[in-house]
Amino acid sequence: MILGLQAGRARRTVPAVCLVVVAFLIGACGSSPRVNVIATVGRHNIGLEAFQGYVDSVIGEGWRTVDDRVASRLLDQYLDQEVLAAAARRKRRFAIPVEPGRRAAMIRSLVPELCGPAPTPAPEAVARAVEARLKGKQPDRAHVRQIIVATAARAEQVRERLLAGESFADLSRRLSLAPNAAEGGELGVITRGTLPEEFDREIFRLHPGEVSRPVRGPSGYHLFQVLEVYPGAAPDHRAVEATVRQELTEDAVRTWLSGCVDRLAAEVGVRVLTDRLWFRYHGRYSEADDAATDRLDDATGNNGPGNRASGATPGGGSHHGPGQ
């Protein structure tokens, strides 16, 4: 619901909780309290220009080039981070760094305090999954990393830079929308048949070191690089157990973190003023509340037509939880 593609299926170079938590850390904090407010999180107003600047920095292109699907996903990430920051500010005051890497690190440090310890899979669940996985021949596997960008044109540009010899990990950290961008796009070892067919087909036609053609997915356009290929063989119990434990941990952490953010959003209150956006919002904070815009206009004085985002579609606001 919140995450992009996070399908690591065997060996990982980073803990599962980091790969999942990082999906919440690509947002931004800070906005003008009065100019073109597009959302509120608790008592904090989110400005249109602040979000547009965030989109520009994430995708590396102008915000006008982003389609509704990607823009909705980016706004969700932005608001998820704002929710975590707002919840933490109830206990103490602090400033969020502007630089994306430092800001992400700060928000990541708040997660244990706000959400508690990350869950681990039950031993009996691991045992059942391992038993089922050990039956039959193990399919082909490949060690893969990815870059996700917003548009096909951008994907082609990045691919050309990769083919010219630029570092995949560096471009991932600088340009990718993927939750694991900070880890160089690392997906670990992927088992054939565990990803959507269009991803599977592209990945398993590659030789080690090759970069895929752009593949469209729900989060944008994907570029994959295969680092190593492992032909199918009889399953190894230790490797299967490690893979299963990793998968179940990721699933549990994803559910835990999503539930935590939902709970905190309901506590602090989130409203999205959809008529002030330049795209049609289809995100997770989209429950309708037509009165939200009027209430915020009364509070901020933003009730003139000049404050409407260019290209926005009338539709009032949406909310998640009570205001604070």
Mean pLDDT by 10 residues, the chain (324 residues): 39 46 44 70 91 84 88 92 92 77 82 93 94 81 95 95 94 91 90 91 94 93 95 82 93 93 95 94 73 42 40 49 50
Q: What's the CA gap between 40 and 22, in Å, rounded?
A: 23
Computed on alpha carbons and rounded to an integer, the radius of gyration of the chain in Å comes to 21
- Boundary-marking domain end, from 203, 234, 265: 234
Same domain? For 78 and 166 the reply is no
141 within 8 A of 9, measured Cβ to Cβ: yes
Same domain? For 76 and 151 the reply is no
Same domain? For 111 and 144 the reply is no
Same domain? For 92 and 163 the reply is no
- CA 72, 74, 80, 86 torsion: positive or negative? negative
* Residue 29 exposure: Cα atoms within 13 Å on the Cβ side: 26
Task: Give the strands of the sheet with 317-320, arranged side by side.
Answer: 44-47, 37-41, 270-272, 317-320, 288-289
- In total, the chain counts a number of residues equal to 324
Query: Residue 95: how many CB atoms within 10 A of its CB?
Result: 8
Same domain? For 27 and 83 the reply is yes
Same domain? For 291 and 261 the reply is yes
163 within 8 A of 211, measured Cβ to Cβ: yes
Same domain? For 193 and 263 the reply is no
Same domain? For 96 and 154 the reply is no
Domain assignment of residue 50, yes or no: yes
Closest CA to 36 of 48, 45, 44, 46: 48
φ/ψ of 49, rounded to 5, equals: -65, -35
Q: What's the CA gap between 62 and 48, in Å, rounded?
A: 14
* Residue 242 exposure: Cα atoms within 13 Å on the Cβ side: 13
Query: Cα–Cα distances in Å, from 257 out to 69, 95, 201?
Result: 22, 23, 31
Domain assignment of residue 12, yes or no: no
Same domain? For 162 and 310 the reply is no
Domain assignment of residue 184, yes or no: yes
The pLDDT score that the predictor gives to residue 316 is 52
φ/ψ of 222, rounded to 5, equals: -100, 140
Q: What domain range is 45 assigned to? A: 19-117+256-320
Q: What's the CA gap between 192 and 173, in Å, rounded?
A: 26
CATH number at residue 212: 3.10.50.40
Domain assignment of residue 251, yes or no: no
Same domain? For 270 and 305 the reply is yes
Domain assignment of residue 58, yes or no: yes
Domain assignment of residue 127, yes or no: no
Same domain? For 23 and 98 the reply is yes
Q: What's the CA gap between 258 and 283, in Å, rounded?
A: 14
Does residue 53 come out as left (phi exceeding 0), alpha (psi in the -120 to 50 range) or beta? alpha
Query: Residue 136 class from Cβ within 10 Å (0-12 exposed, 13-18 middle, 19+ buried)?
Result: exposed
- CA 269, 274, 277, 281 torsion: positive or negative? positive
Same domain? For 105 and 174 the reply is no
The pLDDT score that the predictor gives to residue 313 is 37
Domain assignment of residue 69, yes or no: yes
List the Cα angle 56/307/99 in 5-degree steps.
Answer: 30
Q: What's the CA gap between 49 and 60, in Å, rounded?
A: 16
Domain count, the chain: 2
32 within 8 A of 106, measured Cβ to Cβ: no
Domain assignment of residue 60, yes or no: yes
